[in-house]
Structure 1
């Protein structure tokens, strides 16, 4: 078998295809939401806050999968834009709660249709059954990788038991 045959071509790599698709979705979405002044970073926070308001900075960062110091910078920009208010907790001064302003809530009507349009473009030419199957398969693949094995467990699986 040649090196080329044993390699994993990009077009056959789940990781590559998912990453490339995600980058294309993000690029299209950014172009569509940019006129509103929103960035992709703000988009992810807004999406969570439209569903679940008054989270702490830490909870919000965890839901998005962002480091808290990075989240603070993004949230500062959203606060300057007038989309959120940051309130320090009375019970625990270390906690900062994030709430949407009316302007932040109103962005939903502008930005969600743009996101739906990007997704519709990505799914163009697929039947409803194909879309359902695609989403189901992606959820299963994600679940399969939810808890990656520790390096010790992975090594133990590769080692063959010694005959003794």
Structure 2
């Protein structure tokens, strides 16, 4: 492992800041095309999940988006008010709420197809480079999640 002294403490040298500021810029880039659809960025991500796999529970959707269920509820209520989804109580377990696309929500997918090419163009790179970047970020996320899981396990074990 590299010595801590070899890691600079300047803001622009931090991986976390590069990811954070890029995430902010990405969200801002999505804003104009999403406004045409009447969606916010979190709503768009939620719709992407439903377009992949309709009729999910709130818990399943929250896990897929790395959010907690309490964050999902107001988001889903707004999508329901817009007519894109319906929330249905589970038959076998009424505590579960299933989210299903409406016809309007399914039809929105076609209009949303214009967004990824616009964002790729805004990124100023070719599709291969962006795909490689995405794959690297997915690996980074998996490594960080593994680290978090191991760290949280070590903190919850009782001392002997």
1:78-110: per-residue Cα shift (whole Å, max 9, x none)?
011000011111111111111001111111111
| Contact kept in structure 2, 1:83 and 1:100, CA below 8 Å | yes
TM-score, length basis structure 2: 0.80
| Contact kept in structure 1, 2:29 and 2:122, CA below 8 Å | no
| Contact kept in structure 1, 2:58 and 2:72, CA below 8 Å | yes
Query: Do residues 29 (structure 1) and 30 (structure 2) align?
Result: yes
Name the larger-Rg structure.
1
TM-score, length basis structure 1: 0.78
State the number of aligned residues: 148
Query: What stretches of structure 2 of length at least 5 have no aligned partner?
Result: 1-5, 156-160
Q: Counterpart in 1 of 2:109? A: 108
The RMSD of aligned alpha carbons is 2.3
- C-alpha distance in 2, partners of 1:151/1:48? 28
1:121-142: per-residue Cα shift (whole Å, max 9, x none)?
21x24573x4454334323322
Equivalent positions of 1:57-96 (< 5 A) are: 57-96=58-97
Query: Do residues 144 (structure 1) and 137 (structure 2) align?
Result: no
